[in-house]
Amino acid sequence: MFLASTGATNDAAAETETRLRYRLIYEQLKTAIERGRIVPGLVLLEGPVARVFGTSRVPVRKAFEMLHEAGLLHTFEGRGYLAAAPGGRTHAPVRTPLSDAVLGFDTAPAPLDLRSTSERIYHALEDAVSNGIVFGHFRIDETEAAEVFGCSRGVVREALGRLRDLGLVEKSAYSHWLCGPLTARAVAEDYELRALLEPAALRTSAPHLPESTLEAALAEIERAIDCPASINADALARIETTLHVECLRYAPNRKLLETIGRALMPLTVNHAFFQAFDIQPEVGTLMEHRVVLDHLRGGGFEAAAIALNAHLQAGRKRTLQRLKVLAVLPEPALPAFMKRIA
């Protein structure tokens, strides 16, 4: 009885959360269109808008439907919707990479954190584990984590299961959740694996990359190169994810992508490094990203794969150097549910 009741409560909470997300997305886009902050005719696609809001496509789809019913979005022969001109008039399509500014949020309040409770817990655990494994070996206490986040152990367990899929945590023979230590050998092995597999994945993914994804990635890297001081650790992590995850995701070999996904711990080292020192990324690293993306835009898929391999080889050296620097820093403050083992 208790489990059934809890399940019903969770389902209701999830439904309320989804309703809240699409309503908030609807209100923010409605206000931006009505006040002319969104260019008339701007092509709005579910995926890019979902990324701006930090949510899934489902609430974005519902918000689009409501905006269409209200006459603020129009359908056309292409994919997505067109933002209406003042008075609800139709305008010719305008295609540009979507961002906070393009969606009219540069002068409005920043979009709210619309992630579900489980998503927020997952990312909080990921941050804690990522910060800890650079400094040692830890056990994660499920019960204490549930108390910290104010949720059930099941939610914590689900999040930890996702982190296990990424290779960030593991379960011991006694069913304890463990993480770390992240060693130079582990980093080197991950890079060796990635240098073999990522270029192969890019070759098969590149022909299917949506133009909007590629243009948005290029716009993002250009902004970073023009103003590296504006790129913090989190922004750099997003740039890395774009190249090493988003650009590979259309490869048809799912097992290949899963293997690559379990070898991304070096990104954790880089994030911890830039977070610890609060410094801007090297322009040379950003230029390596742009070379890959430029080749992809020009249809040079083999050249892009070769450039990606060169970027990974250079990245291996940089990351191992950063790991040495981090090893001499004092351990950061970690959550109480992370218990040091060694």
CATH number for the domain that contains residue 59? 1.10.10.10
Distances (CA, A) of 40 to 33, 85, 98, 196: 8, 5, 14, 45
> Over 80: is that where the pLDDT of 200 sits?
yes
Neighbours of 161 (CB within 10 A): 13
Residues 88 and 168 occupy one common structural domain: no
Residues 49 and 143 occupy one common structural domain: no
Residues 238 and 297 occupy one common structural domain: yes
Residues 199 and 288 occupy one common structural domain: yes
Q: How far apart are CA 280 and CA 223, in angstroms?
A: 13
Structure-model confidence comparison of residues 99 and 268, the more confident one: 268
Residues 172 and 304 occupy one common structural domain: no
Number of domains in the chain: 3
Any domain includes 340: no
Where are the strands (E) in the chain, listed by range? 43-44, 73-74, 81-83, 138-140, 170-171, 177-179, 338-340
Residues 93 and 145 occupy one common structural domain: no
Any domain includes 338: no
Q: What is the pLDDT, as a whole number, of residue 4?
A: 35
Q: What is the pLDDT, as a whole number, of residue 79?
A: 83
Instruction: Tell me the mean pLDDT in the region 47-71.
Output: 86
Quote the domain boundaries for residue 210: 184-327
Any domain includes 307: yes
Q: Which of 99, 115, 131 is the last residue of a domain?
A: 115
> Over 70: is that where the pLDDT of 15 sits?
no
Cβ–Cβ < 8 Å for 208, 250: yes
Q: What is the pLDDT, as a whole number, of residue 14?
A: 47
**Mean of pLDDT over the chain:** 86
Residues 311 and 212 occupy one common structural domain: yes
Question: Out of 85-94, 109-118, 216-225, 234-243, which region has the weakest mean confidence (pLDDT)?
Answer: 109-118
Residues 223 and 316 occupy one common structural domain: yes
Q: What is the pLDDT, as a whole number, of residue 282?
A: 92
CATH number for the domain that contains residue 319? 1.20.120.530
Any domain includes 214: yes
Q: Which of 130, 146, 179 is the last residue of a domain?
A: 179
Residues 190 and 318 occupy one common structural domain: yes
Residues 243 and 318 occupy one common structural domain: yes
Residues 217 and 300 occupy one common structural domain: yes
Residues 169 and 258 occupy one common structural domain: no
